[in-house]
Structure 1
């Protein structure tokens, strides 16, 4: 049974953030890489934390990804993540690698931890060298800011943004072995968003007690149904990274898939990732609406996911929703080319609560009612394939004139 179908008590912490789990602090600072906004952030854990990560599938990968892979590979432990925005440090050759290693080295020195306990991440313009002197100066000042708890997480969140219009955070709690387990997270992403992964960075923290091997397995399990189910524009970037750190300070029994509450851990991690993924989709460049597609009745969950991603990724569907046009023909078209097993004669489609297709045939509906629904900010599309028990979801946004305006002048 899909863990999503099981009933667990996963509680949102409205004021929570990535520093809510035990052991974590954060900070953000302005170094001058960007003209006015904060542009360097750090997450710090007071103990070596079990860590795991997933990365972009783009074959062109930025220098920071190579350094983070190297760090995690050594022990599966991290104590700090240093992140700059405004410059992706991608396609920068040998100097880019050296600059990323310098960021790792300087962060390790200031926090007095081994170099391989530091992960490095960057986001911004591709193909330009880092202003490494400014970043080094920022790193030397940032440790003191981690002692400031009031707005530390918000400052970190702001420091990692590029074209984003909002900070993206999430926090949830559950109980394992009678201990309160907290999950926090922050993310950035607005354009170049497409499975697998996107031009997105996400950083997750938890105080659960879990070894790196099992944390990696848990992250791999949830990533496909969360961050890999969002799309804005069909582009996959060079820097995409999700890092999760587990301090173990909740003192639960060490988690593995043999633990009786393993599924509870998975659902809590998935819930945190899904919340961040949806916020990225809603903040798509120029977007005015969040689109969620739910597909049921597929032969399996994989097929359901294919259909959901195909629909939410269709430029024609996205444009129709922007224009409040209930053009279900574009939805059935995207279903047909998804690569999933379908039977055209058994498909039902609904836009919100308005059914437009039954058993592959159109049915009458109120165009006025559909237009009113599509004028709202959160759009649901439901598809039932009537072939099996497979279920899947995906998220995206409408495609607007502003998307072109933003990306036509991204470097200027």
Structure 2
């Protein structure tokens, strides 16, 4: 299976595209003045209801839009429009928050003459404050989704909060001799520790796939990508990744029995990994992207768990910020990850520099490692020598600016 997956990945081509590159999708974003400057309301629109799948935050406190979107997708597994507002999370807003989310759904339905149950709703921003409905509701009427890169960029800007840049990815592959496109856009910078953060992700594809099969792909890919990033260890009330498939490409319906199934899975994986790394890179106050690669674990899941434990360690994150090759913090995180290991067979490398082999310290050049740690992308390699499991996780360094940004986030 590993070899088959590798071959499938080689059939994926990254392209310069957006969420409107897959056939059947339009988008737009506008400024309703909920936020001072940036766009704060956006929509993804399809000409007809299309197959949908979603994963949500595991936080037991979930924002009103999560409930509304879950209900919509459960109705028939299809969605025709996704409306997103930023500035207010509509979380912990009581019964009125749910009423407001339904009102947004109803207004979109009337504006675009579609069914309310075919509309997903998402929000991001401050927790505990009512949405400014007097601005959002009239704003919905001004949304004019188009199948252009400009429309996609307007949407990408509309979903941002403390993000410093928009995040998107697009790839293509061949299915039954036809070009299939998978694209995605996301936001996320702080309160990022998804098991499924404040992170929102939206993926579009013109592949022909059922709601059930798309859900299986998204759930599996999420475990290996979005759920492998951490900025600050906080899981938001609003996390959601939503995937839509328009079936605009004429190929046999995709399922596990299709001979090119793995190519589609790999395309979803490639977009999700790219978005995950962009979110980690844009962590609040971050100066470095950290990738942890773990091999030789009992299982792939164990490898991923250890990788995320390392990249989520505040001591590791601060060491990377301070350009300190403190591998002791790395092995410490390995030890409390809750995975069965052999304490005497661990290898650790920072970049290409070995610091530990078979759990024995290795002499290395502090100056060379210091120079490496001054870079913007840092990779930590761990080999456990107890199995065949492999996994990755992504995060960022922890800086003074993170404290500054979050100390004054609401005020």
Q: TM-score range by the shorter chain?
A: over 0.9
The separation in 2 between residues aligned to 1:179 and 1:111, in whole angstroms, is 31
- 1:233 deviation in Å? 0.3
Is residue 302 from structure 1 mapped to residue 301 from structure 2 by the alignment? yes
Paired residues of 2:25 and 2:147 also in contact (CA < 8 A): no
- 1:6 deviation in Å? 3.6
- After TM superposition, the structure 1 = structure 2 runs for residues 6-155 of structure 1, keeping only pairs within 5 Å, are 6-7=7-8, 8-14=10-16, 16-142=17-143, 144=144, 146-147=145-146, 149-155=148-154
Unpaired runs of 5+ in structure 1? none
TM-score (norm 2): 0.98
Paired residues of 2:5 and 2:262 also in contact (CA < 8 A): no
Paired residues of 2:294 and 2:307 also in contact (CA < 8 A): yes
- Ranges of 4+ aligned residues in structure 1 off by more than 6 Å: none
1:79 to 1:224, Cα distance in 2 relative to 1, 3 A = same
The separation in 1 between residues aligned to 2:133 and 2:5, in whole angstroms, is 44
1:308-338 Cα deviation digits (max 9, x unpaired): 0110000000000000000000000001111
The separation in 1 between residues aligned to 2:196 and 2:324, in whole angstroms, is 29
The separation in 1 between residues aligned to 2:378 and 2:300, in whole angstroms, is 22
- 1:47 deviation in Å? 2.2
- Paired residues in the alignment total 409
The separation in 1 between residues aligned to 2:199 and 2:322, in whole angstroms, is 27
Partner in structure 2 of residue 361 of structure 1: 360
The separation in 2 between residues aligned to 1:364 and 1:149, in whole angstroms, is 55
- After TM superposition, the structure 1 = structure 2 runs for residues 297-376 of structure 1, keeping only pairs within 5 Å, are 297-376=296-375
SS of the aligned residue for 2:224 comes to: coil
Is residue 184 from structure 1 mapped to residue 186 from structure 2 by the alignment? no
The separation in 2 between residues aligned to 1:344 and 1:355, in whole angstroms, is 17
- 1:5 deviation in Å? 3.4
- 1:150 deviation in Å? 4.6
The separation in 2 between residues aligned to 1:147 and 1:338, in whole angstroms, is 47
- 1:260 deviation in Å? 1.0
- 1:148 deviation in Å? 6.9
The separation in 2 between residues aligned to 1:301 and 1:222, in whole angstroms, is 13
- 1:264 deviation in Å? 1.0
1:46-66 Cα deviation digits (max 9, x unpaired): 221100000000000000000
SS of the aligned residue for 2:331 comes to: helix
1:271-316 Cα deviation digits (max 9, x unpaired): 1111000000000000000000000011110110111011000000
1:185-243 Cα deviation digits (max 9, x unpaired): 10000000013121100000000000101110111111100000000000000000000
Paired residues of 2:194 and 2:239 also in contact (CA < 8 A): no
Partner in structure 2 of residue 241 of structure 1: 240
TM-score (norm 1): 0.98
Paired residues of 2:196 and 2:227 also in contact (CA < 8 A): yes
The separation in 1 between residues aligned to 2:198 and 2:352, in whole angstroms, is 33
Partner in structure 2 of residue 214 of structure 1: 213
The separation in 2 between residues aligned to 1:252 and 1:139, in whole angstroms, is 35
Instruction: Let me know the Cα RMSD of the aligned residues.
Output: 1.0
- 1:263 deviation in Å? 1.0
The separation in 1 between residues aligned to 2:311 and 2:194, in whole angstroms, is 11
SS of the aligned residue for 1:338 comes to: coil
